Structure 1
Amino acid sequence: MAPRTRATAKKEKSAASRPLKLPTVTETTTSSGLTVLAAERGPLPLVSMRLVLRAGSSTDPKDKHGLADFTVRLLRRGTAKMRADEIDEAIEFVGASVAGGVSEDLMSIYVTTPAEHFAAMLSVLGQLVREPTFPEKEFDLAKDRALAQFANDLDDPSTIADRAFTRAQWGDHPYGHDVGGSASHVRTFIREDVVRFHRERVGPKGALLVVVGAVKPEVVAAEAEKAFAGWSQTDQLDPSPAPAAEGGVQAGRILIVDKPDQTQSQVRIGGPGYPLGHPDYFAATAMNIALGGGFTSRLVNEVRVERGLSYGVSSYFDAMSVGGAFAISTFTKTESTREIVDVSLGEVAKVRKGGITPKELKSAQTYLAGLYPMRTETNDSVASVLADIRVYGLGDDWVEKFRDRLRAVTPKQVKAVSAKYLFPKPPAIVVLGKASEVEKQLKHLKLPITVVPVSEYE
């Protein structure tokens, strides 16, 4: 996060004073059962579309981690009517863009297009999700690329540490594996796995299409009907969220990922958080800005400024549909692993016991209130927040009342969420580094220690 200058502060104050209101939303449903939200918005002649499906990595089969992510990457590599090169040409010719991605809960396909080509691009989007062919050649290429990336990841300590941290926190829960899966699972993929996943997970049940930009709602409804007519997935499984984890995020242990050639330690510390849409969101977010989510936060001051232990340290809440986590992420030279863990836990303990100061709370509220209007500056950001509101049940007044709810947070509320989320029980600690040096530095924490080779996380 960049340091705040006088100009930045003035801009934040100006942004924070502007009323926030989303454009009028018109809701329709296609004959195939797809829910469509349309919001006309100018003045630029552009349209952003976002198709959201409950087919995230939490729906991966137990022995096929990464299949949702692998599937979305193949959607534009051929349909019943167009080859991959024809799809690429159709998109590029009109100056549009199409991308797809997967989170723990959702699969999303994003389209941005000049308004005059809206109908054509919506038709392409419909083809991608309704009738992909998953050509064998494209499947093989995608699999080779994925496996090569896993091999490359072993040279990226931060990526491997994050992967190990996810598994350590969530265990066997559907959230407990990396969105992209692992080499051992991807290596077993066959084309029929992708075909089956598409048949069972990519359908109109629970799907949402959000269209924002210079196009009339009635045009959106008519073109959506054309693009998704006949999209009937009789084999589509129930698109319900992942089951809530019993006991939430796992904690109270240390995992050391051994990479003997490392001269630095990647450190992750975490415990339970809250799911998306939880009432604690506003107080917890303000508290976290003061603790480790801002450039002038306590963790940054103690770890980077005062002690020079690392160039980077941050804390964050990771909220998903049925659960969440609070975590700290940093790195340091091998010999200072104990110190950076102790300092981080010490700062967390101070806030857990005493909350933050009224000045810190006011600063966090001002910063977040000034930042939030950016969520409504572009068609794509408006489409994103409209999708979040509907998928996670945030309420239609989420944007309009966001800053009021943020400013209403009191020091008492911050102290309550601090006591609730800032490791009231011993956290899970993951360190990627030289185990022979790191293990002895962490024994004083008196937590169970497990050492595994880095190859476990390819």
Structure 2
Amino acid sequence: MNYKKILSLLLVLLGIFIAETSIAQEYKLPPYQKFVLKNGLTVYLMEQPEVPTISVSVIMPAGAIYDGQKAGLASLTATALKHGTKNYTKTKLDEELDFIGAGVGSFATKEYAGLSASFAARDQQKVLGIINELLTVPTFDTAEFTKEKRRTIDRLEQAKESPRNIIGGEFDQFLFGNHVYGNIVTGTTESVSALTANDIRQFYTENYIPNGSAIAIAGDFKTADMKARVTKIFSGWKKGSKKTSDLSAKPIEKPAANRVLLINKDDAKETTFYIGAPGVSRNNPDFVAIEVINTLFGGRFTSMLNDELRVNTGLTYGASSRFSPLKNGGSFAITTFTATQNTEAAIDKSLEVLKKLHEQGVDEKSLTSAKNYVKGQFPPRYETSGQLAALLTQMYWYGFDESFINNFQAKVDGLNLSRAKEIIGTYFPKDKLQFVLVGKSADIKKIVQKYGSITEMEISSRLR
């Protein structure tokens, strides 16, 4: 009897495993409808009736690449969007949203500005109306702007105390140089201090336009009803007269040699560093394969990098690598931190692991493990209406379609050792590396000279 019970239990567990594996392999993007309003606004609607909520994602060509000489302008404009509208003061707006339990947020990234919202399905008319007001008739109250500007400057000053808060922006600026991808999204204390309320009003007028923008709505609604509602509410958003050019389309100048940016922090007890190079665009046809190999190399706790730098040598509490894809390019970076006295050992070990990846490649066991990990992480990314709405606007911005989702598992499964070797050789850098370090220069300058020509700066004085 015991043997029968054990056998039955094993069969049940096997059935669950097979079912879960099948579900993961067969994951498809739920159906959606896409249409364009007369003002040029692209709309995505996806029914998700399981939970009585609705999520909204809006994306607009108004990111930091359009800052020009006014670093931080896109970010401050996005934040100020919620400071009041024609019919709502900031206080009234906050109270209205709080009363119905709705969340609305605005933000800017390097390439685009965005707005996200989540609310009960019963409140869709009210919240969609508020979103429309935020997008079309914000007031950019001067008093609120002054307070937000002060808060932003304070955050930027505080960030200088944490190398991990500032090194990403400095790495991008060092890597991309004069290309707009080098723009620091948050700006600097100096650049933000110089911004005025009129600056953000002008930036809004030029860049917050429906043509070139998209809104995605996912949740508990009927598509026909929502299409009529969205058309009525958002058709009044006036089409922009200025055609926003894609400033990021300019070719990215690739580094000609190894270089080092050494950012001095006199009281630093650790060295935080990035080692990187230009990466790939989001619509790269090898995006999935790159993700798998990077997972193996530095994208999870049991990665090659973390095993060597944390587990085997104890040089750091964690080391990782990442590709940061954008519309027209991107970056690759190895990132970690270590005690000052271990700076050279940690950098050398990072380079050693990268060299090993190129020279020895990966084996079948580790590749299979990485593929299973990536497949296991994939469906949970797109479970909620908020995640799905955000995905739809990402599809719009980066120019990929549902085939990326629907064929993801197959592309992962199709990656073999031969193709993995090609991916490593094509996309993972092995020379002309860019090093950015934040630490005590007096203790590490002589050490890091061997990695490339050095540019020095103080953490208290951000570039540009």
TM-score in same-fold range (> 0.5): yes
Q: C-alpha separation between the residues in 2 aligned to 1:103 and 1:97? A: 19
1:230 to 214, 226, 236: 236
1:164 matches 2:164: no
- Cα offsets for 1:375-427 (capped at 9, x unmatched): 22110111122222222122222211111111111212211121223323231
Deviation at 1:351, TM superposition (A): 0.5
1:213 to 216, 219, 225: 219
Equivalences for residues 15-54 of structure 1 within 5 A: 15-18=20-23, 19-54=26-61
Tell me the number of residue pairs that the alignment of Structure 1 and Structure 2 aligns: 448
1:435 matches 2:435: no
- Report the equivalent of 2:11: none
2:188 to 182, 190, 193: 182
8 A Cα contact 2:262 2:441, kept in partner: yes
- Report the equivalent of 1:453: 458
1:420 matches 2:426: yes
- Cα offsets for 1:203-257 (capped at 9, x unmatched): 1011111010111112222221232232114444425352233334676201110
- Report the equivalent of 2:317: 311
Deviation at 1:306, TM superposition (A): 1.0
1:259 matches 2:265: yes
8 A Cα contact 2:297 2:304, kept in partner: yes
Out of 430-439 and 233-242, give the one that drifted further.
Answer: 233-242
8 A Cα contact 2:45 2:217, kept in partner: yes
8 A Cα contact 1:263 1:433, kept in partner: yes
* TM norm structure 1: 0.94
* TM norm structure 2: 0.93
Kindly provide the amino acid, as one letter, of the partner of residue 271 in structure 1: A
1:81 matches 2:96: no
- Cα offsets for 1:303-336 (capped at 9, x unmatched): 0011111001100101000001110110001111
1:107 matches 2:107: no
Kindly provide the amino acid, as one letter, of the partner of residue 356 in structure 1: V
Taking a change above 3 Å as real, the CA distance of residues 367 and 11 of structure 1, as seen in their structure-2 partners, is farther
Q: C-alpha separation between the residues in 1 aligned to 2:38 and 2:173? A: 41
2:369 to 363, 368, 379: 363
8 A Cα contact 1:199 1:235, kept in partner: no
- Report the equivalent of 1:381: 387
Q: How well do the aligned residues superpose, as a CA RMSD in angstroms?
A: 1.9
Structure having the higher Rg: 2
Taking a change above 3 Å as real, the CA distance of residues 137 and 164 of structure 1, as seen in their structure-2 partners, is same
Taking a change above 3 Å as real, the CA distance of residues 202 and 342 of structure 1, as seen in their structure-2 partners, is same
Kindly provide the amino acid, as one letter, of the partner of residue 156 in structure 1: S
Q: Unpaired runs of 5+ in structure 2?
A: 1-14
- Report the equivalent of 1:324: 330
Q: C-alpha separation between the residues in 1 aligned to 2:17 and 2:336? A: 28
Deviation at 1:168, TM superposition (A): 0.9
Q: C-alpha separation between the residues in 1 aligned to 2:372 and 2:430? A: 28
- Report the equivalent of 1:337: 343
Deviation at 1:352, TM superposition (A): 1.6
3-state SS of paired residue (1:175): helix
8 A Cα contact 1:30 1:221, kept in partner: no
1:57 matches 2:64: yes
* Percent of matched pairs sharing the same residue: 29
- Cα offsets for 1:87-126 (capped at 9, x unmatched): 1112111111001122212211001010011111111000
Q: C-alpha separation between the residues in 2 aligned to 1:256 and 1:117? A: 52
8 A Cα contact 2:40 2:239, kept in partner: no
Taking a change above 3 Å as real, the CA distance of residues 38 and 251 of structure 1, as seen in their structure-2 partners, is farther
Q: C-alpha separation between the residues in 1 aligned to 2:21 and 2:229? A: 37
8 A Cα contact 1:39 1:212, kept in partner: yes
1:98 matches 2:104: yes
